[in-house]
Amino acid sequence: MMPERMQPLPLDHSACYAAMRARDTRFDGRFFCGVSSTGIYCRPVCRVRLPREENCNFFLSAAAAEAAGYRPCLKCRPELAPGLAPADSVASLARSAARLIEKDCLTEQTISELAQRLGISDRHLRRVFFAEYGVSPVQFLQTQRLLLAKNLLTDTRLAVTDVAMTAGFGSIRRFNDLFKKKYRLAPSRFRKKEPKAPQDRDAITLFLAYRPPYAWEELLSFVADRAIPGVEWVTQDAYRRTVAIKKGETVHSGWISVAQVARRNALSATVASTLLPVLPRVLAGVRHLFDLNCDPLAVHERLESMDAISPGIRVPGIRLPGCLDPFEMSVRAVLGQQITVKAARTLATRLAACFGEGIETPFAELSRTFPLPDSICSLEAPVENRLGPLGITGARARSILALAQALVADSITLSLHGDPAAEMQKLLKLPGFGPWTVNYIAMRALGWPDAFLDSDCGVKRALSGMPAKESLALAQTWSPWRSYATVTLWDSLKKGVKSSKGGRE
């Protein structure tokens, strides 16, 4: 729960209880709850029955809870909470490993290489993973691959061999054996009864579920305002874009199209066949971009005090727009410093047109991919001489280069498996990265739900010039979902919602 100025605040009782009631894993390890009626303290994700709010006391650390006389819960085991030392190596490492497995089904590396990336041994990875999930990393990986394969078998006409390779199985024999062992059926039994249906050649379509309600029009409008021509194209009912993902030394390029299927409470994601080698990463990016893991009812309830600004300002099902390309989104954040959304879009369009790669798609509106960090790093020095003619100032050019270099060196992680607090501190050390830029990146690239951009001019306009101290106090009532409140305030400007404080945008 970190405000834009990056200064820690005392724990807010109501915000902590809201996060615990939602059992939002993003707050695991950030606080602990002592229950006065039992004398036990728990993590916010504990699955026992929710205690009464008046019986809860919240602490910044397990040590603080124990100093107050509470003993640790035997079910959620506070010693496993991420962010603790030395127990941090248990839950934090296990969660990082799980997110990396979910991201690409380890199509690029083995379990041993995953452990090496995390800086631990195979044995330690197995131990911490079992402590957190009750299964080994191999079992977890097998389940992820099987579920993706089942999805492909059910909803596409890909050849069974292509399904096996796309889901990360090294051989068709291994694929068949594991299916029969786990599901007691041959892979072909999951095919829909559609004789003579053609195989997918140019693209496949899969369905990704969400919890309703879903404010689809609001999210689509948000990304439309920021869409980079040539790279992104937003229609009345769909979002389309080009995609370039580096896997090993190969860059896989293609396109995607995402639309809402309201009757199924799902989004349809159509993915070009050229992206099949990186399909798990593409689908993970779509889920992140469209915030499919959100609990909209918990967020809507917590933002109730926003009605004090305007009775109609809250939108059921509001989502936090994430991103599919963290580097692209972060570059947009740098370009958007102290200028309008439209002006930042213009600069991003020039950057893509000059340094992006051309690509053929079925859509005339999509013709280029956004440059990868490697492309920016390879520019002849000084970088301001290359980006300056595009209208990008020298300071921002150096900021973009510093970010690209950090991502290539893997010294900064801009994804959901990164620790927001740690990565935000790293970003602040880069030249030209202030609190607004870092918090915006945390919201969209790291999926941090509790950022509040109090210095943002749009937020100030939406609050009708409310004094900073008063706006921060009001925003605290929206914690732990202040990022959703920030998006709501931005949306209210477009809709011309009249503030009860006076004024109309």
Any idea what DSSP says for residue 167? T
CA distance linking residue 98 with residue 448, whole number of Å: 18
Please give, one letter per residue, the 3-state secondary structure of 293-316. Answer: CCCHHHHHHHHHHHHHCCCCCCCC
For residues 366 and 375, the answer to whether their CB atoms sit within 8 Å is: no
Q: Which one, of 298, 301, 288, 321, lies nearest residue 418 by Cα? A: 288
**Scanning the structure block, which residue is given the tokens 């369009």?**
349
For residues 332 and 325, the answer to whether their CB atoms sit within 8 Å is: no
* Residue 360 structure tokens: 């053929």
CA distance linking residue 59 with residue 32, whole number of Å: 5
**Catalytic member of 88, 155, 162, 456:** 456
Helix ranges restricted to H, 393-467: 394-408, 420-428, 435-444, 457-462
Report the side by side order of strands in the sheet with 238-247: 203-209, 266-272, 250-261, 238-247, 232-234
Sequence-distant (≥ 6) Cβ neighbours of residue 330 within 8 angstroms: 403, 414, 441, 445
What does the radius of gyration of the chain's CA atoms come to, in whole angstroms?
23
CA distance linking residue 184 with residue 440, whole number of Å: 47
**Scanning the structure block, which residue is given the tokens 């989104």?**
329
For residues 90 and 79, the answer to whether their CB atoms sit within 8 Å is: yes
For residues 138 and 98, the answer to whether their CB atoms sit within 8 Å is: no
Beta strands in 71-177 (DSSP E): 71-72
Determine whether 410 is an active site residue. Answer: no
For residues 261 and 267, the answer to whether their CB atoms sit within 8 Å is: yes
Report whether the peptide linkage leading into residue 311 is cis, meaning its omega lies within 30 degrees of zero.
no
**Catalytic member of 42, 46, 56, 294:** 42
CA distance linking residue 182 with residue 286, whole number of Å: 28
For residues 331 and 433, the answer to whether their CB atoms sit within 8 Å is: no
DSSP of 31-74: BEEEETTTTEEE-TT--SPPPPGGGEEEESSHHHHHHTT-EE-T
CA distance linking residue 325 with residue 327, whole number of Å: 6
**Scanning the structure block, which residue is given the tokens 């724990």?**
11
Query: Which three-class secondary structure state does DSSP give residue 258?
Result: strand
Displacement of CA 33 from its chain's centroid (Å): 26
Determine whether 457 is an active site residue. Answer: no
Q: Which one, of 219, 389, 349, lies nearest residue 289 by Cα? A: 219
Catalytic residue positions? 42, 456
